[in-house]
């Protein structure tokens, strides 16, 4: 039974969860109800906060198959609990539904095993599944996804569309005809409505959710308690503060919901045409679409309401909503394996690998191209929240919690305060009982101690610093959607940068071309636009091999293609709809050179000849496009020169790839060297190739031919050299980060050597540093996976073994401080493929490579995310700065992601910079550090405030006295709130410094600072409290006491006699109370000044004018009422008159206290870092962060870094069996060394 109970859903995915089954239990419910009544509803609140307790308290365990409630727990480090109710979907209501097809549909792991004719199966079906269960399907909904019970895997599974387990062949054979109406209705029942519904919760719902936060409940408890104690004023102040805080929080939460709702709702319902089985076309609402529907894409374009795969025609799509790139993309129909000339194996359709054929939800189809008489059709593969846009919206609606030490420590700290409060609670009760105090008073006073120790104003105080930081960031053009992350940015010690558009300018400029003739490179040429080349194949390739299109008369497309096309100065013309109709087939896009470029074919004098020549215009028609694919790293086209019999194939792409697809005899011998020279200088190189196609290839055959049939046996034509300039500010910003000990890493989709060259140019890799390229090869033909290590600069010298002398091996520098370890002078570089192989087969090497990996080239979007996770696994705080294009996942996963694009893709990243330059990175880190230090200051201050007040009250309880209401009010409102809210206003320090602020509250120096201040404050308070009793004039105070020896005061006393007697039941007016009140009031201000840190993370305290002004004002005011008593103030604050010399004594106590406090805090600051670790743990300290520990280990590892030209092999073909010992691989590399 127990195995039945715990299963895992979404195995291996990001949202993997354990699932347990429960049934409701009547007797448990009855007990809980009783408990709720007895605790006055508090138990209900506890169960509301803890879903796990709620289910366990009211239910009993049951088999998942028949349970009524499921309990889910995430398997990540957060281990969060959720519960969901099982619902039942009844299929009996539906006439066409067949139990057989139903069970099939869900028993197949891919859920979509669709029966062609449901009615045929009905007879067998009903006989086979006559029992009622099969007519009902059990499911639950979690985070907007429905999970259905699946009998074959005996578990819940979410219903997949056509995006998994469906082959390309079956998409054409089974699904391209459309659905019958019955089948459609039946699927609609299962898949539900096709919409991404972001419900904006009502204000009332949000309010309830916000108010039931544990902090607000505690505040409510405090307010009720104070009201019974007649302490109305502060209660009112706390209520006002809570209301302001709740309202602002509600406003921002609701605003985000509304923003998201508007972003999603723009296209939620449109009318679409779908094809039904019998060729008829039906118009339905987009909300009724289900996977398998065949949707007709209208001519003038539309916004896609679902994910669909193109099976007819081509579309031009703007995908900025998903990728952040506003460049229109051409989508072609999915290749049909059964029609292809060269049959490729029947591959499975996958929206990611076939993204050039997939139209994604939320993207805009700008225009379509088609064969006349045929519609542009696409098959719906995913709907609702399973679409790409749906997943983006889900990740925004249900973000992963950010785990930050500061917040964990804050809770630990609160627990400590609660423990202190507990001691006070017990002390108060015992003391009161011994002194025979009434029960009611005991209860109120003992509970009051708790509200004093755990300050209800803490949450407001903590968020103040963050709110101010957010305002300052906004001023410098950085917008933030999750303010909690600002603090985390103060900890960043590694930043990943995207290259193109982030470190370098967005566009590329054409630097020149280098053509090949007779397998030899000619010298580089700058100008492509000349008469000599106009009819060459080289220019023809530039003119045709691109994905440009005219949108409203303007050429648009990939900026790279645009640059190349502009360089040759040709003209592109597209067919209009009327022309297409005339030609009865797709009219090719035509390109031709401008007239002035065409060479004069005849002498100018011969007029007749010229007229005769006119028809022979040189034009090239583009017949078929194979769009650029990042997986293949190339694109190709089939084109035909007007009047030619044969067609031509042109191809361009990454030079290594193109060269491998050309006839070896056409590739120059020095190809590798020439290419390397260019890439080392940081140029982006693109190769071109061409071949004539056989004349038997007709237009129709070309439309169905596969890519591989075209892209082989080409003639190599030469290289195009593009230049990608560094942005002006890049080197300076990176230098600032390096000075501040912040590592920088480049993650790019570009070529490896180009990336290494840019890294050298911008100072990421210094001139004297070595670059080690890790080239990992997956296991093949029974051989294990292996990594070859090359040294980038010695790559060219591989042929001369002697060239690799000892100086090629980087020097290891032994540093005293761990921070400098990162400066050891070698860097690893690798490409996406190698990175994937290393993650899979060399898990022991991953942390070592993360320590010095600087360049990651040719990285796919999901690999960027994996890299960030790998860096986080060795305890780096990782920032990511990208232009939002394909960095969405990485921006979200990083501790601080900054998007440099203002498009909707930036919804995914916590920060968006208005100016598209990386100078926002140091600014953000500076502000983050300032906010973090502010949080620490406020926290320390609030801790001392509660302890000082707690101690004052405990001292006074010992003589059955207390602080008066107005004394409390003066301390809590005038001193504490004013100080806390002005203390947080210090702006950030001007530049980044090398040291980093501590990450948690619980660090030696910080605790020592707090403890020393607590001891000092307690000491001086006790001194005042006990010393006043030793004074010759001291007596137990009564209304007639006259310590001041003034006859005038008799008048003052007698006139208020009635008041005094009435107030005195609390015994507030006495000498001890007055002494403790004055000393503690000064202590709050002393501590505030001691804790207000300036340099190196914030501007110094005296520049924070509001703070300086409020502290001076409060000092003057308290000094004044202490030295020159004002009757009315004394009366309100319930202060008694004490002799003048005692006032001076109190002033001396306060001055000494101030001197001691500030000296101790300064010395903790100055020497705490070096002395404390030495005092606490004599000897060497093991560093906390994994990367520092690793760096120490690697210093003494003789086998690291790997020597040039060696190979490391994996330990057998076991796949990812957890971390292995790091030494085998190097042993392997020793035996494998080859020179």
* Residues with a known catalytic role: 498
- Give, in order, the Cα–Cα distances in Å from 893 to each of 861, 881, 1047: 12, 12, 75
Are 564 and 684 in contact by the 8 Å Cβ rule? The answer is no
> Exposure pattern of 250-277 as b/e (b: 16+ CB <10 Å)?
beeeeebbeebbebbeebbeeebebbbe
d(CA 788, CA 799): 16
d(CA 483, CA 468): 10
> Exposure pattern of 638-662 as b/e (b: 16+ CB <10 Å)?
bbbbeeeeebbbbbbbbbeebbebb
DSSP per-residue letters across 495-556: EEEEIIIIIB-SS-EEEEEEEEETTEEPPPBS---SGGGTTSHHHHHHHHSS--EEETTEEE
HSE of 1231 in the Cβ direction (CA atoms, 13 Å)? 6
d(CA 752, CA 226): 68
Are 719 and 686 in contact by the 8 Å Cβ rule? The answer is yes
d(CA 847, CA 868): 12
Tokens 């040294």 belong to which residue?
791
1148 CB-near residues (< 8 Å, 6+ apart): none
Q: How many CB atoms lie within 10 A of CB 900?
A: 27
d(CA 1117, CA 395): 53
Length of the chain in terms of residues written: 1235
DSSP code of residue 633: T
Composition of the chain by helix, strand, coil, percent to 5: 50, 20, 35
Are 456 and 238 in contact by the 8 Å Cβ rule? The answer is yes
**Backbone dihedral region of 415: left (phi > 0), alpha (psi from -120 to 50 degrees) or beta?**
alpha
Are 156 and 148 in contact by the 8 Å Cβ rule? The answer is yes
d(CA 235, CA 228): 11
Give me 990's structure tokens.
């001007």
Give me 220's structure tokens.
């409510």
Are 528 and 918 in contact by the 8 Å Cβ rule? The answer is no
Are 1137 and 1049 in contact by the 8 Å Cβ rule? The answer is yes
Degrees to nearest 5, angle at CA 240 with 235 and 246:
120
Write down the H helix ranges in 817-911.
832-841, 846-852, 861-873, 888-893
DSSP per-residue letters across 1102-1129: GG-HHHHHHHHHHHHHHHHHHHS--HHH
Q: What is the dihedral of CA 110, 116, 117, 123, to 10 degrees?
A: -50
Are 1200 and 1194 in contact by the 8 Å Cβ rule? The answer is yes
Helices 232-265 & 203-211 angle (0-180, nearest 10) = 130
Give me 57's structure tokens.
């308290």
373 CB-near residues (< 8 Å, 6+ apart): 584
d(CA 972, CA 979): 10
Helices 405-434 & 920-958 angle (0-180, nearest 10) = 10
Residue 776 backbone dihedrals phi, psi, to 5 degrees: -100, 135
């Amino acid at each position: 039974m127990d195995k039945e109970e715990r299963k895992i859903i979404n195995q291996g995915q990001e949202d993997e969860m354990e699932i347990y089954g429960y049934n409701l239990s009547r007797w448990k419910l009855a007990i809980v109800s009783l408990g709720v009544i007895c605790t006055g509803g508090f138990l209900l609140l506890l169960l509301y906060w803890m879903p796990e307790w709620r289910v366990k308290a009211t239910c009993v365990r049951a088999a998942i198959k028949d349970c009524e409630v499921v309990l889910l727990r995430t398997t990540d480090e957060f281990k969060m609990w959720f519960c969901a109710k099982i619902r039942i979907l009844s299929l009996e209501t539906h006439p066409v539904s067949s139990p057989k097809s139903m069970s099939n549909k869900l028993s197949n792991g891919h859920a979509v095993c669709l029966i062609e004719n449901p009615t045929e199966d009905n007879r067998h079906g009903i006989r086979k599944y006559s029992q009622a269960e099969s007519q009902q399907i059990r499911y639950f909904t979690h985070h907007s996804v429905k999970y259905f019970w699946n009998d074959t895997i005996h578990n819940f599974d979410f219903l997949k569309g056509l995006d998994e387990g469906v082959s390309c062949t079956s998409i054409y054979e089974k699904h391209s005809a459309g659905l019958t109406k019955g089948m459609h209705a039946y699927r609609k029942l299962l898949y539900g409505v096709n919409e991404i519904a972001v419900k904006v919760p009502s204000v009332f719902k949000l309010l309830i959710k916000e108010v039931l936060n544990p902090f607000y409940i505690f505040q409510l408890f405090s307010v009720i308690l104070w009201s019974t104690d007649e302490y109305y004023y502060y209660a009112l102040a706390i209520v006002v503060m809570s209301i302001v805080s709740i309202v602002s929080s509600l406003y921002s939460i609701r605003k985000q919901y509304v923003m998201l709702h508007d972003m999603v709702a723009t296209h939620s319902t449109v009318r679409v045409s779908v094809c039904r089985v019998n060729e008829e076309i039906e118009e339905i609402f987009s909300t009724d679409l289900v996977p398998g529907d065949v949707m007709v894409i209208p001519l003038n374009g539309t916004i896609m309401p679902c994910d669909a795969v193109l099976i007819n025609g081509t579309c031009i799509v703007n995908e900025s909503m998903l990728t952040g790139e506003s460049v229109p993309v051409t989508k072609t129909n999915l290749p049909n394996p059964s029609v292809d000339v060269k049959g490729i194996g029947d591959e499975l359709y996958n929206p990611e690998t076939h993204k050039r054929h997939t139209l994604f939800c939320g993207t805009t189809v700008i225009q379509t191209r088609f064969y006349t008489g045929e519609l542009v059709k696409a098959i719906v593969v995913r709907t609702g929240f399973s679409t790409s846009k749906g997943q983006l919206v889900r990740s925004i609606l249900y973000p992963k919690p950010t785990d930050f030490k500061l917040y964990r420590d804050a809770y630990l700290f609160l627990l400590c305060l609660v423990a202190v409060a507990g001691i006070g609670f017990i002390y108060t009760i015992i003391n009161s009982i011994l002194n025979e105090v009434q029960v009611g008073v005991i209860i109120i006073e003992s509970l009051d101690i708790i509200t004093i120790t755990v300050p209800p104003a803490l949450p407001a105080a903590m968020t103040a610093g963050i709110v101010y930081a957010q305002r300052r960031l906004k001023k410098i053009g950085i917008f933030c959607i999750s303010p909690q992350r600002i603090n985390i940015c103060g900890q960043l010690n590694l930043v990943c940068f995207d290259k193109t558009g982030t470190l370098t300018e967005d566009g590329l400029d054409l630097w020149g071309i280098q053509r090949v003739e007779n397998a030899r490179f000619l010298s580089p040429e700058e100008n492509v636009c000349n008469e000599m080349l106009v009819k060459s194949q080289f220019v023809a390739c530039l003119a045709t091999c691109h994905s440009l299109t005219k949108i409203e008369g303007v050429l648009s497309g990939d900026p790279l293609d645009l640059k190349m096309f502009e360089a040759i100065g040709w003209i592109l013309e597209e067919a209009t709809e009327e022309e297409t109709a005339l030609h009865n087939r797709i009219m090719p896009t035509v390109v031709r050179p401008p007239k002035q470029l065409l060479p004069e074919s005849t002498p100018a004098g011969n007029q007749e000849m010229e007229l005769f020549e006119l028809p022979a215009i040189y034009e090239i028609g583009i017949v078929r496009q194979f769009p650029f694919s990042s997986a293949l790293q190339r694109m190709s086209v089939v084109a035909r020169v007007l009047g030619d019999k044969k067609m031509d194939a042109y191809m361009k792409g990454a030079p290594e790839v193109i060269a491998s697809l050309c006839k070896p005899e056409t590739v120059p011998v020095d190809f590798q060297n020439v290419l390397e020279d260019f890439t080392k200088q940081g140029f982006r190189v693109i190769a071109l190739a061409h071949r004539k196609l056989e004349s038997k290839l007709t237009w129709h055959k070309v439309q169905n031919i596969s890519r591989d049939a075209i892209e082989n046996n080409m003639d190599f034509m030469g290289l195009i050299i593009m230049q990608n300039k560094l942005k002006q500010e890049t080197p300076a910003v990176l230098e600032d980060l390096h000075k501040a000990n912040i590592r920088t890493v480049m993650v790019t989709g570009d070529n490896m050597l180009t990336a290494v060259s840019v890294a050298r140019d911008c100072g990421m890799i210094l001139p004297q540093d070595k670059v080690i390229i890790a080239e990992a090869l997956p296991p093949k033909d029974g051989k294990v996976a292996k990594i070859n290590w090359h040294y980038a600069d010695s790559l060219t010298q591989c042929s001369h073994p002697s060239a690799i002398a000892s100086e090629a091996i980087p020097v290891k520098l032994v540093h005293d401080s761990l921070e400098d370890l990162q400066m050891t002078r070698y860097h690893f570089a690798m490409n996406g493929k190698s990175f994937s192989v290393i993650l899979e087969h060399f898990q022991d090497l991953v942390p070592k490579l993360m320590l010095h990996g600087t360049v990651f080239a040719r990285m796919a979007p999901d690999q960027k995310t994996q890299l960030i996770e790998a860096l986080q696994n060795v305890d780096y705080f990782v920032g990511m700065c990208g232009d939002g294009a394909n960095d969405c996942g990485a921006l979200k996963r990083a501790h601080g992601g900054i998007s440099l694009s203002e498009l909707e893709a930036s919804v995914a990243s916590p920060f968006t910079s208005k100016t598209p330059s990386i100078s926002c990175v140091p600014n953000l880190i500076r502000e983050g550090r300032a906010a973090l230090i502010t949080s620490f200051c406020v926290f320390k201050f609030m801790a001392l405030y509660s302890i000082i007040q707690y101690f004052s009250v405990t001292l006074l309880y010992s003589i059955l006295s207390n602080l008066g209401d107005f004394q409390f009010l003066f301390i809590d409102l005038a001193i504490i709130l004013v100080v806390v809210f002005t203390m947080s206003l210090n702006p950030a320090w001007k530049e980044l410094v090398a040291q980093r602020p501590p990450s948690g509250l619980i660090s030696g120096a910080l605790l020592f600072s707090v403890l020393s201040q607590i001891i000092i404050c307690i000491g001086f308070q006790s001194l005042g409290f006990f010393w006043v009793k030793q004074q010759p004039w001291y007596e137990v105070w009564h209304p007639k006491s006259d310590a001041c020896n003034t006859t005038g005061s008799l008048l003052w006393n007698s006139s208020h006699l009635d008041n005094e007697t009435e107030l005195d039941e609390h015994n507030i007016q006495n000498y001890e109370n007055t002494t403790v009140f004055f000393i503690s009031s000064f202590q709050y201000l002393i501590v505030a000044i001691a804790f207000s840190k300036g340099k190196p993370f914030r501007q110094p305290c005296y520049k924070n004018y509001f703070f300086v002004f409020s502290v001076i004002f409060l000092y003057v005011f308290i000094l004044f009422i202490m030295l020159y008593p004002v009757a009315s103030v004394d009366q309100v604050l319930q202060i008694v008159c004490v002799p003048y010399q005692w006032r001076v004594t109190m002033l001396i106590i306060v001055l000494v206290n101030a001197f001691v406090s500030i000296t101790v805090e300064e010395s903790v600051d100055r020497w705490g870092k070096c002395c404390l670790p030495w005092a606490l743990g004599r000897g060497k300290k093991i560093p906390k962060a994994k990367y520092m520990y690793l760096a120490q280990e690697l210093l003494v590892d003789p086998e690291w870094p790997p020597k040039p030209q060696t190979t490391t092999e994996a330990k057998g073909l076991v796949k990812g069996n957890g971390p292995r010992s790091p030494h085998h691989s190097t042993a392997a590399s020793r035996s494998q060394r080859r020179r």
